[in-house]
Amino acid sequence: MLVKKFRLPVKEFLSKKPKSAKTSNFYFRYLPNQLSFDRAGVVISKKTEKSSARRNRIKRIIFEYFRQEKSKEKNIFKTGVDILISPAAKIFKLEAKEIIKIISKEIILIK
């Protein structure tokens, strides 16, 4: 799990009118921040997946991806960025390795 410092306060973030990008598997909302590091948040609607256990599994996988990127000491973006991720329903059918592979490819598209 990500350290609290790297997690995005979602309600505060949505009030700032972020930019958005949609890929086939994820919906990204992002804004540059005044910090030297990225912050990430994940929001999954009940309409997307009814089971809270499956929603939480996907959240853990996505946060784990960001945690691993932090441990590499490699910033995904040049400056600090707040990013909110909403996965599509078809993500719930995939394995963790496949999800990480997809998100690592698609997050580069929103630079």
H or E element in which residue 56 lies: helix 52-71
Angle at 59 between CA 48 and CA 84, to 5 degrees: 80
- 34-63 pLDDT per residue, tens: 888 888 899 999 998 899 999 999 999 999
Output the CA–CA distances (angstroms, integers) from residue 81 to 46, 50, 63, 85, in the order listed. Answer: 27, 30, 15, 13
pLDDT of residue 74: 61
| pTM (2 d.p.) | 0.84
- 64-74 pLDDT per residue, tens: 888 887 776 66
